Structure 1
Amino acid sequence: NKRQVLTITSDLMPVIQVVYSVNNDEAAGASVEFVVPKDLGDGYVNNKLENYKFRFRRVFDQTAGQEEIFETIAQPVADRVLAGYNGTIFAYGQTNSGKTFTITGGARSYGDRGIIPRTLSYLYQHIIQDSTMVYTTHISYLEIYNNVCYDLLDRQLEACRLEDLPTVTIMHDSEQNIQLRNLSIQQSANEEEALNLLFLGDTHRMTAETLLNKASTRSHCIFTVYLCGRQPGSATVRRSKLHLVDLAGSERVNKMALGGQLLTEAKYINVSLHYLEQVIISLSESRAHIPYRNSLMTSVLRDSLGGNCMTTMISTISVDKTNLKESMSTCRFAQRVALIKNEAVLNEEEDPVLLIARLKRENQSLRDELAMVTGEPRQEQLTQYEIQKLEVQVKDFLEDTDPEATLALGTDLQKIRRCFTLLKVLSLSGVQRPNGVPL
């Protein structure tokens, strides 16, 4: 049940100036090509490349809609999560290239819904329609701002500022697994409750106005759906999780002319993205040491990068000439990510509570059979719960008009004697069957 999957796609932000070409030919593979005219004004031969071509699993041009992006990128990952595999979808790119719009969506129309709300709708529709499984779902929403983790779903207080929210700390257990302390995990029974949690978290997100975006997200956010499913009566449980990640945009500080708080935020963003790139390079080169612990973001996303997860990366790029260097840098980063091979395994386990209950039932059944064969009654007395259950069974038996109705008591002599006693008491008290015939 192992799969090696890490999918890379590219999403192009609409602009007026065209300096690129897109090829989605199925035979040749998807690619985006940038044209960089040579500058001959310096008076010497310029041997730099004019064309830069990058290959992707799929390239979405300016005309691609949110539904097409969801069906191509998110739906296959959601299907695997429903089957018991971990999944991650994360967007990476320059500020104002469309990451948040792709992941969360826009507020102008219902059709602008992004990957997160569409994925929630898809998951809960499947849960409602699948009668062969019993599911429970939980949700968490984590923000990493200036290298500090915050719980965006805290409901114990009305936070006016991000700093008022509880901070989340990362701990490692004895097996080096990540534990997020103080991160609340909220149960969501349906799509409406899940969307309300998404909206609650989005109201707490840190945004600010920059030269490129009037409402630029200044943090990394990880929206996680935890799914637990099992067949009725089975002790085998499938536990999977889906990370939907909106990374803060990479920025060139000198070009953006940032200052004050924006400059501080940009430095933290760029440092964390630098550490992410170092992890990607280490994984792609199969180095012995992977520097996950250099940043909070790479620690949290450890499973998504080179671990037990089916991961898809969306590269969002602007093809305006002024953003050419940043766009090509994003493409180069995506090419490195594509070299990583994750091993996604089916997450099945025996639920200890259900397993113990099943073993108790089997043990009692064997005791009853042994008592019937040897003629020795069991040593334990009937519990009050068992007595009440027998009274209900006798009542249902008497009210059943089917002449072939029976009392299913198994081989427990104590239960059989108790039922005879109940029938005798009812007979002496003059109780009649529903058809008027006395006992």
Structure 2
Amino acid sequence: MASNIKVFIRVRPGKAAEGFQADPERGALSFKLPDTEPDYYVNNQKTAHNFQFDGVLGMQVKQEEVLETVARPVIQDVLNGVNGTIFAYGQTGSGKTFTITGGAEHYEDRGLIPRTLRMMFEAFRKGPAQYRMYISYLEIYQDSGYDLLRDDSVRNLQDLPKVQLREDEDGNMHLRNLSVNLAATEEDALNLLFLGDTNRVVAETPMNDASTRSHCLFIIWVDSTQEGSDVVRRSKLHLVDLAGSERVSQTGVNGKLLAEAKSINVSLHYLERVIVALHSRSKGNQVHVPYRDSMMTSVLRDSLGGNCRTTMVGCIAAEASNLPESMSTCRFAQRVAQITNTARVNEELDPNLLIARLKREVSELKREVQVARSSGEGEPEAFCFVAAG
């Protein structure tokens, strides 16, 4: 089933600039830049910009509403065997991590990951199938992958196991050395989330007191089997917190933070190149899509133009100083909305289940043969007794 990537824009709470307006009912945003400032009005440049999306999540939106609007349709597809991806994109400090992971101070501030885990385990208990969940947590820091779920005593990123990308003969990407952890209960899953978040690279920057300096992918693998069936549905859900873009000239960072900012911006540039190429393909042009340019785009290959149901949350800030970055995020989101994915149910025959079913059938047939033989031995004796009389 082919469908375009769904795009929602979330506006961070704050004092909105005079020229900014959001209309959540229509899914519309408008920016009107002041024509008195040379930065915004050079060579008769356009000052009014309007955008339309699948939805706009206003400043007062609750985390539960974000789950219902953005995540529930994707979660339902994953439970039915279809791959899903939800990723947050935007400038540093715009609310991406709050959207994906949530805040730690209040229970109602939980983000999409813990709420998704709860929703899935509730579905497991009610659903007609038998489900199993596995969890992986990948961090991509300066284009190198690290497994965040190995050891809670690790204090340095370099001590974490490095994850390598491998491509098979069919062009599918595999993450080598990334642990896959069984989560039998919601508590197990939340403990894994807590462990991974503890190992993430975070730093204080001029734009954010706790800025995530890497891209993180929380991966939920779901296996489901209908009772009496040999077929297993295997799906995966990527919940992606992309590192924030930032203008180095504005933040004034240096040293390690400068190197991190450069790496983040380069990787986001590669992501944009992939989006632009896919956008061009959607118009019928035969162009090369440079997935292999970075580890992040390689990992997200299925999520962008592949076998996946994908949703983007563009996070923006409405203050006057942030309007250029917010408009850039909206332009990027418009291109993403043009990409078409073809998602399908991932089913495969499980040989172990097949063997178990065949053994049950053989056992049942043996019992039927035994019953038939027993019945057959009794009938001739009864017949002979009547004939002799």
Alpha-carbon distance change, 242 to 216 in structure 1, aligned in 2, over 3 angstroms? same
Structure 1 residue 45 displacement after superposition = 8.7
Structure 1 residue 16 displacement after superposition = 1.8
* Structure 1 residue aligned with 2:24: 24
| Residue 143 of structure 1 pairs with residue 139 of structure 2 | yes
Structure exhibiting the larger radius of gyration computed from Cα positions:
1
Structure 1 residue 24 displacement after superposition = 3.0
* Structure 1 residue aligned with 2:71: 74
Alpha-carbon distance change, 232 to 324 in structure 1, aligned in 2, over 3 angstroms? same
| Residue 313 of structure 1 pairs with residue 312 of structure 2 | yes
Aligned equivalents of 2:203, 2:65: Cα separation in 1: 30
1:179 to 170, 174, 177: 174
Residues 203 and 212 in structure 2, CA contact (< 8 A), matched pair in contact too: yes
Q: Which structure is higher in RCO with an 8 Å CA cutoff and minimum separation 6?
A: 2
Q: Which has the higher strand share?
A: 2
Structure 1 residue 324 displacement after superposition = 1.3
* Structure 1 residue aligned with 2:13: 14
Taking the TM superposition and a 5 Å limit, the aligned residue runs for 1:412-423 are 412=370
RMSD of aligned residue pairs (Cα, Å): 1.9
Residues 24 and 58 in structure 2, CA contact (< 8 A), matched pair in contact too: no
Structure 1 residue 237 displacement after superposition = 1.1
Structure 1 residue 151 displacement after superposition = 0.1
Q: For 1:66-104, what per-residue CA distance to the aligned partner results, in whole angstroms no more than 9, with x for missing partners?
A: 111111001111111111111000000000000000100
Structure 2: give runs of 5+ residues left out of the alignment: 375-389
| Residue 324 of structure 1 pairs with residue 323 of structure 2 | yes
Residues 135 and 230 in structure 1, CA contact (< 8 A), matched pair in contact too: yes
Q: For 1:262-309, what per-residue CA distance to the aligned partner results, in whole angstroms no more than 9, with x for missing partners?
A: 011011100100000000010110143210000000000100000000
Aligned equivalents of 2:13, 2:340: Cα separation in 1: 32
Aligned equivalents of 1:41, 1:365: Cα separation in 2: 84
Structure 1: give runs of 5+ residues left out of the alignment: 369-408, 417-439
2:369 to 386, 398, 411: 411
Residues 39 and 46 in structure 1, CA contact (< 8 A), matched pair in contact too: no
1:61 to 29, 51, 58: 58
1:212 to 203, 207, 210: 207
Q: Sequence identity, in percent?
A: 53
Q: For 1:168-199, what per-residue CA distance to the aligned partner results, in whole angstroms no more than 9, with x for missing partners?
A: 00001111111111000000011110000000
Q: For 1:118-151, what per-residue CA distance to the aligned partner results, in whole angstroms no more than 9, with x for missing partners?
A: 0000000110122x21111100000000111000
Residues 101 and 110 in structure 2, CA contact (< 8 A), matched pair in contact too: yes
Structure 1 residue 346 displacement after superposition = 1.0
- Secondary structure of 2:114's partner? helix
Structure 1 residue 50 displacement after superposition = 2.1
| Residue 134 of structure 1 pairs with residue 134 of structure 2 | no
Residues 235 and 351 in structure 1, CA contact (< 8 A), matched pair in contact too: yes
Residues 9 and 313 in structure 1, CA contact (< 8 A), matched pair in contact too: yes
| Residue 251 of structure 1 pairs with residue 209 of structure 2 | no
What is the total number of aligned residue pairs between the two structures?
367
* Structure 2 residue aligned with 1:189: 184
Residues 130 and 226 in structure 2, CA contact (< 8 A), matched pair in contact too: yes
Structure 1 residue 363 displacement after superposition = 5.5
- Secondary structure of 1:88's partner? strand
* Structure 2 residue aligned with 1:261: 256
Alpha-carbon distance change, 198 to 20 in structure 1, aligned in 2, over 3 angstroms? same
Structure 1 residue 357 displacement after superposition = 2.9
Taking the TM superposition and a 5 Å limit, the aligned residue runs for 1:230-245 are 230-245=225-240
Aligned equivalents of 1:30, 1:279: Cα separation in 2: 25
Q: Which amino acid aligns with 1:283?
A: L
TM-score with structure 2 length normalisation?
0.90
Structure 1 residue 350 displacement after superposition = 1.3
* Structure 1 residue aligned with 2:105: 108
